[in-house]
Structure formats: structure tokens, C-alpha cells
Structure 1
């Protein structure tokens, strides 16, 4: 999997190695489905602080198309982790929809518990 990192913020750029490692770790099961990933960090409010650290993941897949997930948090690590959690959930759900089950489910017959008419 090829992972591209982008950040215009100096503090976000310091997270480069950690974020690349976290993306590869979180998507290790889905590597065959996600050949390209892009991580973008941006500071929405600038140096004012608050919940303004934005992490955007753009995952390009062959079967599900392009999946873009963004999250806001107070720090970079939390924003990255939230994006990765949502991205893996969305990807696994979309991949489960595209794959058809090999065996069909057989409905179990309802159990007859008796008439239940007691006087």
C-alpha cells in the first residue's frame, strides 16, 4: 500500500512517521483492497487552539471507489485514530456488501410449543 502524507502545519508534519505507521497498521487486513491512501492534517482555527485539528483520509479502492473520511479533535493523534476507526468500519461494510456469500442461509422452522390454551 502506498501512503502519501500532507500537512501545512509544522506540528502536523512532526506526526508524519507515526501517522504513516498507524495507517499501515490499521489497514493491514485491507491492503489488497486499498492500494493508495492519503493522509492530510490541517489546523482549522490556526494557533487559537480548541477542537480544530483536522485529519482527512482518502482511500482509493478498486471495488468501493474513493472513500474520504475526515474528523476533528483537540490533538492530531486523536483525529487520526478516529479517522482510521471510521475508515476501517466503512471499508469492511462496503466490501461485505460487494461480496456474495458462498452458501445461502437456511431458515430454521419455527418450533411448536403447543396450543397454549389452558382454561
Structure 2
């Protein structure tokens, strides 16, 4: 997983970078094989005026060119990052699960007609007739 952190009017130090990396690894641990790239963009919306103005925009690029985009605003950078990563984790889990469900549905759908034919009464009657004619 490639990680890109950019900021606009927010100082990104080693402590914040390590916090973001550890939260991403915790949250995306099970989904790591589907994640190609994670872009984190931090912004201070109101600038020096203060207030609830720290924004985190998370863009997760999955294998197969799908993207999950989450934007979260909070009173601190850490809070907005944490909320965004949690929401992105839920969204990615949903996408990956739907992918798997579609794949399982396709596979099981191929095999269902064969199973239904083998247990259908028409086939068993034909089989009985064939067995009665054979010596």
C-alpha cells in the first residue's frame, strides 16, 4: 500500500505522520491486499480564525481502479483523521464484500442448474426408463 500525505495550512510532523500510518494499518489490516494507494489531504478550512475547521480527505484506490473517497471535518487534525479512516474502512469493507458476493454468486450460479437437473423428477423418470430397457 502506497501512502501519500499532503497538507494545506496544516503542519505535518513525524508524530502526525506516524499516527496516520498506524491508524491506517490498524483499520485496513484485513483489506491490505485490495488497497493500492491511500492519499490523505489535510486542510485548515478557516485558517487562523479557528473553530471546527480541520478537514481530512481520504482517497483510497482499490485494485481494479475503484476509489473510496471520504471527507471528514473535526476540531483537531487527529479527530478528523480518525473519523475519516474509520468511515473509509467501513466503505471499503462494503465494496470488497460486494465484490466477493458477486464472485460467489457467479460461481454458484453456474453450478446450480446442474444440481437442479440432477435432482429434477423428469431426469429420474428418464433414467428409470433407460435402466428398465437395458438387459
1:6 aligns with 2:6: yes
Which of the two has greater helix per residue? 2
Matching of residue 21 in structure 1 with residue 7 in structure 2: no
RMSD: 1.9
Q: Secondary structure at the match of 2:35?
A: coil
Number of residue equivalences: 103
**TM-score, normalized by length of structure 2?**
0.69
Distance 1:18 1:81 in 2: 9
TM-score using structure 1 length: 0.77
The Cα of 1:21 is off from its aligned counterpart by 2.1
- Whole-angstrom distance in 1 between the partners of 2:2 and 2:25: 9
Larger Rg: 2
Q: Contact 1:54 / 1:72 at 8 angstroms: preserved in 2? A: yes
2:53 corresponding residue in structure 1: 52
Unaligned segments of structure 2, at least 5 residues: 110-135
In structure 2, C-alpha distance between the alignment counterparts of 1:65 and 1:72, rounded to whole Å = 24
Q: Which runs of 4+ in 1 moved over 3 A?
A: 101-104
- Residue 43 (str. 1) matches residue 44 (str. 2): yes
Structure 2 residue matching 1:21: 3-state secondary structure = helix
Secondary structure of the 1:99 match is helix
